[in-house]
Amino acid sequence: MINATQGKSPTGFITAQGRGSNNETNGFVFRRGFITGDGQVYLGRAYGPYSRVIFHGTYFSKVVFPQGWDPWHFRGYESQLTYAEVDCIGPGSNTKNRVKWVKTLTSKDLSKFSLSRFINQDRWLSKLPITIL
């Protein structure tokens, strides 16, 4: 659950992912989450020229700005950014006014970002003292 609260700044960002190269295998994947609050937020801003953030099956309340995403200091690199929303619901999930460079992922694309293939690349989850679904 992500709770966006109104602070001194009228604008907030949920993510600032800093992937610096197309060869880097990192990024943020949020699955089955819930975004709510009383502030206004962008889903993310680029903290690197190859920033990568995916929201999958997440509830977006009305706190999400209609544009959804911000290139921040990486204007001109939008084609290199990977920002995607797949099967998201709620009043903030309407993509009609999203930035034009948001990515549309196929099922095959999305499978690359699954728990077993993306999150657990180094098999580190099995070493945790808890069970991960």
Q: 61-103 pLDDT, tens per residue?
A: 999 999 999 998 889 999 999 999 999 999 999 999 999 999 9
Does 119 fall in a domain? Answer: yes
Does 68 fall in a domain? Answer: yes
DSSP assignments along the chain, one per residue:
-EEE---SSS-EEEEEE---STT----EEEES-EEEESS-EEEEEESSTT-EEEEES-EE-TTB-TT-EE-GGGTT-GGG-EEEEES-BSGGG--TTS-TT-B---HHHHHTTSIIIIITTT--GGGSSS---
Domain residues for the domain of 75 are 2-127
Q: 44-62 pLDDT, tens per residue?
A: 999 999 999 999 999 999 9
Does 29 fall in a domain? Answer: yes
pTM for the model: 0.82
Name the domain count of the chain: 1
CATH number at residue 23: 2.160.20.10
Does 132 fall in a domain? Answer: no
